[in-house]
Copies of this chain bind each other. A is one copy, B any other.
Amino acid sequence: MATVLNDVDEQLAGALRAQGLRVTSQRLVIHRLLREHGGHVTAEEVMGAVEPGLPGTSLPTVYATLELFEELGIVRRVHPGRGPVLFDSRLDEHPHVRCRHCGRVSDLEGSGALQSALRAAQDVAEGQGFTAERAEVVVSGVCADCRIAGAG
């Protein structure tokens, strides 16, 4: 790593060093991409996006890095039900919407009532001895574009 580190990089480097982990170019590049992109990405997409800046990066490394980032609290895993897992750089718990026709996943905004209901549901689970850590909500159906295009 001869690259000069910007402040986004320094954040990651700090978090890694705090755990005795190594600062590698793969980790830095993937971290930058996630910060820039913002939305949901698959491991495959990360792989493709890394390619120009760091050719030869392998899919197993991408998976390992994303898993590490999840442990560091830098990304959250989203399970859309069908298709590959998505990695979300938005860190707050929020519901998703998935089109069963085109597969696109997006955030569902403006459902504050749901957030509190979810917390209540987690309390119910806790009351039964379960240690609740996350609550995923996926609304599925057909998106506006696909409906217009005539999807059943």
Contacts and interface: CB of A to CB of B under 8 A. Distances in A.
Given A117-B114, A120-B114, A134 B144 contact: no
A138 B135 contact: yes
Interface residues of A, number: 39
Contacts of A108: 121, 124-125
Copies per complex of this chain: 2
A95 interface: yes
Contacts of A122: 139
A113 interface: yes
Interface in A116-133: 116-118, 120-122, 124-125, 128-133
A95 B143 CA distance: 23
